[in-house]
Amino acid sequence: MPDYSKELNREQFEAVSTIDGPLLVLAGAGTGKTRVITYRIAHLINNIGVPAQNILAVTFTNKAAGEMKERILKLVPRQQADIWIGTFHSICLRLLRRDGHLVGLGNGFGILDQDDRLAVVRDIVKSFNIDIKKYPPKQYMWRISNYKNTRAYVDELVPGSDDFHMMTEVFGEYQRRLKEQNFIDFDDMLALTIRMFRQNADVTQYYRQMFQYILVDEYQDTNDIQFLFLKILATETGNICVVGDDDQSIYGWRGADIRNILEFDTVYQGTKTVRLVENYRSRPVILQTANSLINNNRMRKGKNLVAFREEG
């Protein structure tokens, strides 16, 4: 059994060795948050004996997921490293490939990329004789994407609240063409997976039992339906560990909701909070300046970073 206490600082080891129940890790910049996630997975497998297939690790980019896999392979025997790890969308696509028929998807369904998506919308706008200078196809595509990242779409409602010119008609025709050609788009992956969970209690229970330990990176950047996806799988008292920084939430423009991290301990009962504040990247003078500035923020949990490095 590896002793990870010698490879981590006190707060990092506390986060890694806390196994049961919800865990919120508030990780400041340069404090080793990815290190905590990878070592926590290694601790679960090597020291606790959790099978790799019972661990789900979610991050935001394919690059980050790839780097995480590489780090884990250095800590865990290859034959025990078959972890479900990827972005929200890649995980959901994998689930839909297995059970997508439950939400009306045909076998071998295709995925519309952004260029093809725009081409479809452009053709629809043209067929409706809409003035593309006044109502650009990209505007419709952006609105469709935004709508598909809401609970209303998960609930199969039409975008009636969007009064953009002929929006309901364009959306309806867009969906009809996707279904006719057995396609989904990028934004369908999460929404359809949640819809599948909601409509099939046995499937939801199967994956809840399968994913006994859930880890999420960059939690401050999650949106409402990503929050919903995690909550369905983890329930209110599950073994979910989220790592994020409430002072680095910059993606509100693409739907990220800072309340997800600020209110985590009110949503998940019995949450333990660990703060990673030892910064390995910057000199003390930089951190002192940053702390004094960030302390003016109102929507934050609160933490002050301290420098591992000396003055210089």
Long-range contacts made by residues 181-185, C-beta under 8 angstroms, separation at least 24? 181/110, 182/105, 182/106, 182/108, 182/109, 182/110, 183/109, 183/110, 183/111, 183/112, 184/96, 184/105, 184/109, 184/110, 184/111, 184/112, 185/111, 185/112, 185/117, 185/145, 185/148
pTM of structure: 0.92
Q: Which residues of 141-165 are buried (b: 16+ CB within 10 A; e: fewer)?
A: bebbbebbbbeebbeeeebeeeeee
Residue 266 burial (10 A CB sphere; 0-12, 13-18, 19+) = exposed
Provide the pLDDT for residue 299.
Answer: 84
* 84-141: pLDDT as tens digits: 999 999 999 999 999 999 999 999 999 999 999 999 999 999 999 999 999 999 999 9
Provide the pLDDT for residue 293.
Answer: 93
Provide the pLDDT for residue 157.
Answer: 79
Instruction: Name the stretches of the chain with pLDDT < 50.
Output: none
Provide the pLDDT for residue 289.
Answer: 95
Q: Which residues contact 163 (CB under 8 A, 6 or more apart)?
A: none
Provide the pLDDT for residue 249.
Answer: 77
Provide the pLDDT for residue 159.
Answer: 78
